[in-house]
Amino acid sequence: MLYPECLNELIESFKKIPGIGEKSAERYALALSKLDDDDKVLFADSIKDVKDNLKKCRICGNLTDKDECAICSDETRNSNLICVVEDYKSVIMFEKSGTFKGKYHILNGLISPIDGIYPDDINISSLVERITNPEETEVIMAIKPSVEGEATSLYIKKILESKKVKVSRLSYGIPVGVDIDYLDSITLDRALLDRKEITD
Amino acid sequence: MLYPECLNELIESFKKIPGIGEKSAERYALALSKLDDDDKVLFADSIKDVKDNLKKCRICGNLTDKDECAICSDETRNSNLICVVEDYKSVIMFEKSGTFKGKYHILNGLISPIDGIYPDDINISSLVERITNPEETEVIMAIKPSVEGEATSLYIKKILESKKVKVSRLSYGIPVGVDIDYLDSITLDRALLDRKEITD
């Protein structure tokens, strides 16, 4: 027992966060123990606040502390343009870039029968439900091009197209700033297939 | 505002821990929000527990949740051998190696007039007080060889030697496993000065 009991428990708590190992947990717990008492109370309270108030938006599945998330309740955004993403982190990435002015739909997972994740286990049915005027709606699939990602995209596309919703996906291709010599061959194949005419 | 308010506050709390930047704070806060509710409560409670119960040992200044730390109250350890260290982390290092069977004294700082830290600001007076039989006591200075460290060591040495306490310091020299080619010249000078006769 190198540490006093209460510090040990804090270290164990830090270790539960993925990406924090033994050493970092010790360092963070010691550093936290040196913060002002006010900051410690604030930290503890904010964890409990997250536990009590953080939930999923009833429309899109995004994280929120209200019934509807800030994006869904923003009336300046285009409700007919829905970007379907795997999880909350993708929303952050899109919002940081700031170009997309439609709304999101967060699946909170991908179809993966091998892991026991079927269409009913992820947030698909509410996507179908929220589309009220299908012929004016475009759904953009922003899912990573893995086996599970492709399966999920295809599944959603089939359902939505039967309802006359336009379904698109992000283009695949060369990441900006990356040297072609270092690309994997699959990305290069996709970039070739998705090639575009050069316009002035 | 990318995140819901409660998550934002948790991110701000994580950012107060030295070594956790914006990106990591976001990642950790999101990961924490995905833990079980029980784990969240445990995390929050352990922070409050640290706030309420973690204090300094009244003898040595070590972190403890009791009046005296586990090391000071361990009667199998040699009370006449006191290792003086800068902070709690040094104790952990010594205890992990496990060779030292004496007790510690934690200064919680080093003398540094340029930063406004004088002898009275660190835990020196209690060191003098705890030595009851000076002529049988050895104090080992385990302080880093910086300007502040040397000043602190020298100051303590002067006080203690006037009370007939034996004062030693860790040897300086080549770290085990390090190639001599890569050493700085000060370390090499010290290793030369501190050289020892080879014994069979």
Q: Which of B20, B26, B40 sits opposite A47 (nearest CB)?
A: B40
pLDDT at position A105 over 70: yes
Same domain, residue pair A84 and A164: yes
Q: In this structure, is residue A116 part of a structural domain? A: yes
Q: In this structure, is residue B58 part of a structural domain? A: no
Q: In this structure, is residue A32 part of a structural domain? A: yes
Question: Which residues of chain B register pLDDT less than 50?
Answer: none
Q: Which of B13, B30, B70 sits opposite A46 (nearest CB)?
A: B13
As for how many domains chain B has, the answer is 3
Same domain, residue pair A102 and A137: yes
Q: Which residues of B touch A21 (CB under 8 A)?
A: none
- Comparing alpha-carbon positions, the chain B residue that sits nearest to A69 is B4
Same domain, residue pair B180 and B156: no
Q: A93: pLDDT confidence band, cut at 50, 70 and 90?
A: confident
Q: In this structure, is residue B59 part of a structural domain? A: no
Same domain, residue pair A22 and A91: no
User: Residue type at A158?
Assistant: K
Each residue's pLDDT tens digit, A127-182: 999 999 899 999 999 998 889 999 999 999 999 999 999 999 888 888 888 888 88
Same domain, residue pair A35 and A118: no
Task: Supply the CATH number for residue A46's domain.
Answer: 1.10.8.420
Q: Which residues of B touch A27 (CB under 8 A)?
A: 19
The answer to whether the Cβ–Cβ distance between A40 and B27 falls below 8 Å is no
What pLDDT is stored for residue B172 in this prediction?
84
- Contacts of residue B178, defined as CB under 8 A and 6 or more positions apart, other chains included, come to none
Distance, in Å, from the CA atom of A33 to the CA atom of B65, rounded to the nearest integer, reads 12
Residue labelled with tokens 């410690």 = A40
Distance, in Å, from the CA atom of B200 to the CA atom of B187, rounded to the nearest integer, reads 26
Please provide the average confidence, as pLDDT, over all residues in chain A: 91
Closest approach of B157 to chain A, Cα-based (Å): 29
Closest approach of B24 to chain A, Cα-based (Å): 10
Q: Residues B34-54, buried b or exposed e (16+ Cβ, 10 A)? A: ebeeebbebbbbbbbbbbeeb
Contact B9, A42 (CB under 8 A): yes
Same domain, residue pair B83 and B159: yes
Distance, in Å, from the CA atom of A19 to the CA atom of B163, rounded to the nearest integer, reads 51
User: Residue type at B124?
Assistant: I
Q: Which residues of A touch B100 (CB under 8 A)?
A: none
pLDDT at position A49 over 80: yes
What pLDDT is stored for residue A174 in this prediction?
85
Structure token digits, residue A95: 């919002």
What pLDDT is stored for residue B1 in this prediction?
66
Same domain, residue pair B111 and B49: no
Q: Which residues of A touch B13 (CB under 8 A)?
A: 39, 42-43, 46
Calculate mean pLDDT across residues A82-108. Answer: 91
Same domain, residue pair B164 and B185: no
Same domain, residue pair B93 and B121: yes
DSSP A40-59: HHHHHHHHHHHHHH-EE-TT
Distance, in Å, from the CA atom of A99 to the CA atom of B28, rounded to the nearest integer, reads 26
What pLDDT is stored for residue A84 in this prediction?
95
Same domain, residue pair A41 and A122: no
Q: Is A68 exposed, middle or buried (0-12, 13-18, 19+ CB in 10 A)?
A: middle
Of B104, B92, B77, give the one whose Cα is nearest residue A8.
B92
Q: Note down the domain range covering B48.
A: 5-53
Contact B83, B60 (CB under 8 A): no
Same domain, residue pair B19 and B90: no
Closest approach of A99 to chain B, Cα-based (Å): 14
What pLDDT is stored for residue A197 in this prediction?
83
Structure token digits, residue B59: 């003898």
Q: A98: pLDDT confidence band, cut at 50, 70 and 90?
A: confident
Of B146, B186, B153, B148, give the one whose Cα is nearest residue B169.
B153
Q: In this structure, is residue A3 part of a structural domain? A: no
Q: Taking the CB of residue A170, how many other CB atoms lie within 10 A of it?
A: 13
The answer to whether the Cβ–Cβ distance between B63 and A26 falls below 8 Å is no
What pLDDT is stored for residue A1 in this prediction?
66
Same domain, residue pair B96 and B145: yes
Closest approach of A134 to chain B, Cα-based (Å): 29
Q: Which residues of A touch B69 (CB under 8 A)?
A: 4
Q: Which residues of B touch A88 (CB under 8 A)?
A: 30
Q: Which of A4, A13, A50 sits opposite B63 (nearest CB)?
A: A4
Q: In this structure, is residue B65 part of a structural domain? A: no
Calculate mean pLDDT across residues A78-96. Answer: 91
**Torsion angle in degrees (nearest 10) through CA of B25, B30, B31, B35:** 130
Task: Supply the CATH number for residue B138's domain.
Answer: 3.40.1360.10
